[in-house]
Structure 1
Amino acid sequence: MLKLTVLYGHPKDPEAFETYYKEKHLPLAATMEGVAKLEMTKFSGTPDGQKAEYYRMAELYFESPEQMQETMSSPEGQATTNDLANLATGGVNVIVGITEND
């Protein structure tokens, strides 16, 4: 299984980020067909009590590289990707990996 991970840096305004994320970005992402599973994480810190390097993480799972390509290049995938600029005021990193526990 392929996993696309979106790592969000700490936003300038966390409250505005959360509102936009929940009311606009997630509904937009939900229109993408072909996502096998979606997991979201809001980081609370490091084990030693420090601030986490990232604020949030979204993990989108796909059955194959072809499915990920089809989904992300669709109009809905492109709209979701383009929307990142509207909320990721702390920066965003997107990486792709292959899960090894399947």
Structure 2
Amino acid sequence: MLKLTVLYGHPKDAKAFENYYSENHLPQAATMEGVAKMELTKFMGTPDGQKADYYRMAELYFTSPEQMQETMSSPEGQATTDDLSNFATGGVNVIVGIVDND
């Protein structure tokens, strides 16, 4: 299984981020066909009480590299990717990895 991870930096306005994320971005992401599973995380901080390096994380799972490519290059995938600039004021890092289920 392949995983695309989106790491969101701390936004300039957390309330505006959350409103847009839940009302616009997530419904748009839900239109992407081929995502086997999606997990969303809002970070609370580090174990010692410090501010986390990132604000949020979205993990999208795909059954194969080909499925990920097909999904992300679809009109829905492109629209979802293009939408990031509308609300992710703290920056975004996107990484891809193979899930090791050993």
Q: TM-score, normalised by structure 2?
A: 0.99
Aligned-residue identity in percent: 84
What is the rounded CA distance, in whole Å, between the counterparts of 1:53 and 1:101 in structure 2? Answer: 26
Residue 26 of structure 2 aligns with which residue? 26
Amino acid at match of 1:86: N
Number of matched residues? Answer: 102
Q: TM-score, normalised by structure 1?
A: 0.99
Local SS of the residue matching 2:26: helix
Structure 2 gap ranges (5+): none
What is the rounded CA distance, in whole Å, between the counterparts of 2:70 and 2:87 in structure 1? Answer: 24
Structure 1 gap ranges (5+): none
CA RMSD of the aligned region, Å?
0.7
Amino acid at match of 1:81: T
Residue 62 of structure 2 aligns with which residue? 62
- The offset of 1:97, in angstroms, is 0.2
Residue 101 of structure 2 aligns with which residue? 101
Which runs of 4 or more aligned residues in structure 1 lie more than 2 Å from their structure 2 counterparts after TM superposition?
none
Amino acid at match of 1:26: L
